[in-house]
Amino acid sequence: MSTAPTNPTSATQPASHPAPLLRYAPPETAKARRQPIIVIICGLVSTALTLLALHFVQEHVNTDIMSFSIRFIPFGALIVGLLAALGYSIAAYVLNVRVQGWLIWTILILLGWSYFAAHYVEFAAQGPLVEKATNKQLGFWRYYHLTTIHMTREKNSSRYGPRDPNPTIEEVGDTGYLYRGLGIAGFILGGIGVPLVQRKIPYCPLCQRYMKTKTLLKLPATAKLASFKLGKHKLDTPEHKAAFEHAMNVLQHATTALRTGDIAGLRTDISAHQARVPGKVPVFGVMRLVYCQQCFQGTYTTELVNNGNYQTGLAQQLAKGDLDPSIVQPVVDGSLPLPPPISAETSSMTA
């Protein structure tokens, strides 16, 4: 077996009994229309609580956490932004509100507004301030400018050497705007990071809810290596070939059983061949089901996957297709009666 084997599957073949297209959609209710507003409110609450906690901590540690960065990576702002925006993501998932572009832009704008609102609250809490040089009352933007250019840091500080017990403190001057910019960017990027990932979660547009992913079968597709050696591998030994052929046969049979509604055969394959994949196995085979818990429409995928950081030419999708709800439901709920098998042509997945 070489690292670039002959394609072990033909093009994805549709089942001879295609899944029916559902023609309904849940009626829009007043509750459903209010849910996006609830998501925004929850996000604003989490942002307010995070910034309040940030202000409390900074008052006691005497440091600007938002400006904390290593090699110009604003770790402090990224973490604060992540925590501040958790309310949006949690509420959207619980309420089954799909994360779309309008919500991402709303979160981005509200995070930017919240950043400056927090600084304004900090400014207002100190009462009327007077600038000594002009003897005039400070406005917010003047206050923001002065606190930016008078930010301090340890002179010639290094995190890779011994810490100076008596460090020299210096003001950063106009460079403070660089740290402010990094803080704003990190705060916003940290905040929209989770919602951007959440957009990739499968969503049922008919039922307007997030879909679930269930791993039906997982097993090693190669033999174990003698030791951990990450990188590219030539899996052409007899042991690897035997493990590969066994996995391909099991995946072919299990996929055919799923496509044709042979749930009993699928359960037998899962019971007999489901196995833990050790870390020294470079490639494993897996069959997953993505389904809606309400209408039970589903999609299956069967593929070979590189394990961790191993790199081989075997990783590829073997089969993918839609499933009838009458098949998905007993696969998800083992207590339901088995449906009659569907006559279908056997798809080839052997090398």
pLDDT score, position 169: 72
Q: For the stretch 312-347, what's the b/e string if a residue is b when 16 or more beta carbons lie within 10 angstroms of its beta carbon? A: bbbbeebbebbbbebbbbbbbeeeeebeebeebeeb
C-alpha distance from residue 181 to each of 82, 146, 147 (Å):
17, 15, 14
Please state the separation of Cα 9 from the chain's center in Å.
29
pLDDT of residue 217: 95
Answer left, alpha or beta for residue 241, where phi above 0 means left and psi between -120 and 50 means alpha: alpha
Q: Tens digit of pLDDT for each residue in 23-59?
A: 555 555 555 667 889 999 999 999 999 988 888 887 7
Residues of the chain with pLDDT under 50: 1-20, 158-163, 344-351
pLDDT at residue 250, as a whole number: 95
Give the pLDDT of residue 314. 87
Number of neighbouring beta carbons within 10 Å of residue 94: 13
Cβ atoms of 49 and 71 closer than 8 Å: no
DSSP class of residue 235?
Answer: -
Rounded to a whole number, what is the distance in angstroms from the first to the last CA of the chain? 10
pLDDT of residue 228: 63
Question: What are the residue ranges spanned by the domains of the chain?
Answer: 30-203, 206-332
Written as one letter, the residue type at 262 is: D
Q: Classify 75 as helix, strand or coil.
A: helix
- Predicted TM-score (pTM) of the model is 0.70
Q: What is the pLDDT of residue 42?
A: 95
Question: What is the Cα–Cα distance from 316 to 322, expressed in whole angstroms?
Answer: 19
Alpha helices in the chain (DSSP H): 30-61, 75-84, 86-94, 101-125, 140-149, 176-198, 238-259, 263-273, 325-332
Q: 111-120: per-residue pLDDT in tens?
A: 999 989 888 8
DSSP 287: E
The reported pLDDT for the residue numbered 44 is 94
Which amino acid, residue 320? Answer: K
